[in-house]
Amino acid sequence: MVTLLVLPAPAVAELRVESAGQPGMISSAPQPPVVVSARGSCADVYDAPEANGEAGACGPGAWPGPGGDWGAVLEVAGGDRLLVHSDVALESVEVAATTNFPPGLTTPDGTPVRNETEFGPVLAEPTGAAQTTHAVTLSRVPRAEAFAIVTTAADGSHRHYALSIRKPRKDRYGESCSIAWYAPGQAINQCADHKAPPRPPPPLGEPVTPTLVAPPRTPSVAATARRIGRSLHVRVRAAQRGSVRAVMGWRRSAWTAVRSGRWRAVQVPVPVSQRLPRRVTVRVTLRTVTGIVAVRRRLVVR
């Protein structure tokens, strides 16, 4: 008599995620694959209702949540082909991308900014019979970075993973002088002299000549300070629309929407018993659609 011992499929502890680019937009020095670890055994991807504060199917803490830290960052461009690698065969790989605006963010007129599902949920396609690599093409790139992955193993068990994706993807990863791709036909030359760095021709497909434009100017930030009651009122004016936060020591204000060129007051809580010096150092952070700028200002308290 022969007894067959059926061993359970090994749990998938880590995934490796990378961008394979697209024809005419293949990085000559690509970003290495991002390694992400399993957060648990959730079977449902993160979606817009959960990103807006509703209870998720897998309970609190399963995902980082709105405005949270979604971990390692993978640079991508619209239309990129993403590859998800595993050490074991997977029955399915489901992915979704959602905006990651923090709770309480509003437009200048006070309208709450809600999170939206920007991509998926969609099943990635296996690239071979081994089913250890799955591929999915980004139809668009989210405005924020929340990217969720749920895998299903041969035994039906699930694992879920979180990472951040953001655009642009550079031709030469980690270098300041490089072409930055946002989508086909949309690129920025980040070199100071606006000359494209040398690179070999794309190996596949028809070459796409990117539209080179001048790099965006870093938004300027101006600020003044005045103590009123229990708070330090920091008036901020930015050269670009977004949201601002002021930090003094370990005390900080809430994120507040600001219009381009308009003064907006943000309040840093300060106990009445705390005496402020004539000059204080305040760090002002401006978050816009093009990135985050943080500046330190030495302000006179009036």
> Mind listing the domains of the chain with CATH numbers?
14-168 (2.60.40), 221-300 (2.60.40)
Rg of the chain on CA atoms, in Å: 23
Look at phi and psi of residue 229 and say left if phi exceeds 0, alpha if psi is from -120 to 50, else beta: left
- Predicted confidence at residue 261, as pLDDT, reads 76
164 bridge partner residues: 73, 146
Q: Report the percent of the chain where pLDDT is more than 70.
A: 83
Asked if 279 and 298 count as a contact pair (C-beta separation under 8 A), the reply is yes
Q: If 0-12 CB within 10 Å is exposed, 13-18 middle and 19+ buried, where does residue 257 land?
A: middle
Task: Spell out the residues 6+ positions from residue 241 whose beta carbon is closer than 8 angstroms to its own.
Answer: 108, 258, 259, 260, 288
What does the DSSP assignment read for 188-242?
A: EE-STT-PPPP-PPPSSS------EEPPPPPPPEEEEEEEETTEEEEEEEESS-E
Mean pLDDT over residues 220-233, rounded?
77
pLDDT of residue 218: 47
> Per residue in 99-139, pLDDT tens?
888 888 888 888 888 888 888 788 899 998 888 999 998 87
Separation of alpha carbons 114 and 98, rounded Å: 11
pLDDT at 202 (0 to 100): 52
161, pLDDT greater than 90: yes
- Residue 100 pLDDT: 86
